[in-house]
Structure 1
Amino acid sequence: MISLKWTKSELLQAENNTIEFDEMIEFNEADLKKVSHLRKLKDVEVSGDIHYDVSTELAIANIHVRGIMVVPCSISLEDVEVEFDTSSSEVYSFEKNPQDVDVHETKKDTVELYPAIFQLIVMEIPYKVVKEGVKYPKGKGWEVVSEEEFNSSKKDEIDPRLAKLKDFKIEE
């Protein structure tokens, strides 16, 4: 597993205090188990750069993540593969207790991108996914229908409050 972490000294030694990266990464099973709607991550590529600003003592990481996540179908619970592609800029401080809430504090003067990358992916998990061609369940006296079927059945239905008007005939 590639950890995508750098120390402050590594960033200072890099040309222009910038390190570029482009890696395929894998994720811990333990992390995946923490997120109930995420079954697997495949072909996850992380690219970008991290720059250390000497004057502010902040490291700014520009991260681009893309890959495939496997999530459960909302109806059948079968696996569904969903592609994702997201980007973010993350700021890391080498000082203890940074004042800004949007700044990550480094541990042992080391910037580690793995937690931020995992959080970016978690934010991309769709709320609802329906597998193409899924058979909707039905039982005795009930059935699940698609939204299109529901709307088309409602078109032909007459409002019960107005149903009596159908029998009304105008006499001349």
Structure 2
Amino acid sequence: MKWSLWELKKHQETPLVFSETIDLKRELMERDNQILDVAPIKVEGLLTVSASDYVVHYTVNTVLTVPSSRSLVPVALPMDLTVDEIFMTPEQFQHRSEMISDEDVLILETQTLDLLESVMDNILLAIPLQVLSEEEQRSDELPKGEDWEVLSEEEYLRQKELTEPTIDPRLAKLSELLENPSEDDEK
């Protein structure tokens, strides 16, 4: 999934269609130590070449195994991504249309277009922050152990309200003194 820009010039008339199964397990596990396993990655798409840019549209299908964010149990996470990216050489970038923002363009630093980096980046970006096993999704019970437990935010706020300190009525008059400074203190 690496093409030289010279080779891609042959495809200015018709888009380059590609379909490959790649193995990026080692590279993805090096970039994110939370990933436990990666199934072979199926990438299908097309690359359109023009004088102003290289537009790539592709889909990614794979299954990642990552730990549950609640219990660290391994969870299979199917991924089915659709990606659209615009690549430009530095010269093309200087002459780009104002309709294309800087953030939408990936600048080619060499004379090759390597799609593997794009595939890895998009897989890593698609990993959700909260991953739960099927059992954890069905259950409302949060993990707990000896002298500790995980609380939802609502439960935490409810417990905080119940345990707010109350002022002893015998000392209430003293707190009023602290809140209302006397006239002697102001002088």
- Fold-level match, TM-score > 0.5? yes
Q: How far apart in 1 are the matches of 2:3 and 2:34?
A: 31
Q: How far apart in 2 are the matches of 1:112 and 1:119?
A: 12
Query: Residue 60 of structure 2 contacts residue 80 of structure 2 at CA under 8 Å; is this kept in 1?
Result: yes
Query: Residue 90 of structure 2 contacts residue 109 of structure 2 at CA under 8 Å; is this kept in 1?
Result: no
Q: 2:89 aligns to what?
A: 94
Q: Which amino acid aligns with 2:40?
A: D
Q: Which amino acid aligns with 1:19?
A: L
Q: How far apart in 2 are the matches of 1:27 and 1:38?
A: 12
Gaps spanning 5+ residues in structure 2: where? Answer: 95-101, 164-187
Aligned-partner SS, 2:70: coil
Gaps spanning 5+ residues in structure 1: where? Answer: 162-172
Q: 1:139 to 1:116 in 2, by over 3 A?
A: same
TM-score by length of 1: 0.71
Aligned-partner SS, 1:98: helix
The 5-angstrom pairing of residues 25-64 of structure 1 reads 25-27=22-24, 29-54=26-51, 56=52, 58-64=53-59
Q: 1:165 aligns to what?
A: none
Q: How far apart in 2 are the matches of 1:119 and 1:32?
A: 12
Q: 1:21 aligns to what?
A: 18
Q: How far apart in 2 are the matches of 1:97 and 1:8?
A: 13
Q: 2:175 aligns to what?
A: none
Q: 2:73 aligns to what?
A: 78
Bigger share in strand: 1
Larger Rg: 1 or 2?
2
Query: Residue 37 of structure 1 contacts residue 125 of structure 1 at CA under 8 Å; is this kept in 2?
Result: no
Query: Residue 11 of structure 1 contacts residue 17 of structure 1 at CA under 8 Å; is this kept in 2?
Result: no
Aligned-partner SS, 2:90: coil
Aligned-partner SS, 1:13: helix
| CA deviations over 1:33-69 (Å, ceiling 9, x no partner) | 2213322221311111011102x2x111112111111
Aligned-partner SS, 1:75: coil
Residue 132 (structure 1) aligned with residue 134 (structure 2): yes
Q: Which amino acid aligns with 2:70?
A: I
Percent identity over the alignment is: 24
TM-score by length of 2: 0.66
| CA deviations over 1:146-171 (Å, ceiling 9, x no partner) | x6xx6xxx8xx9x869xxxxxxxxxx
Q: 1:120: Cα distance to partner?
A: 0.8
Query: Residue 24 of structure 1 contacts residue 44 of structure 1 at CA under 8 Å; is this kept in 2?
Result: yes
Aligned-partner SS, 2:72: coil
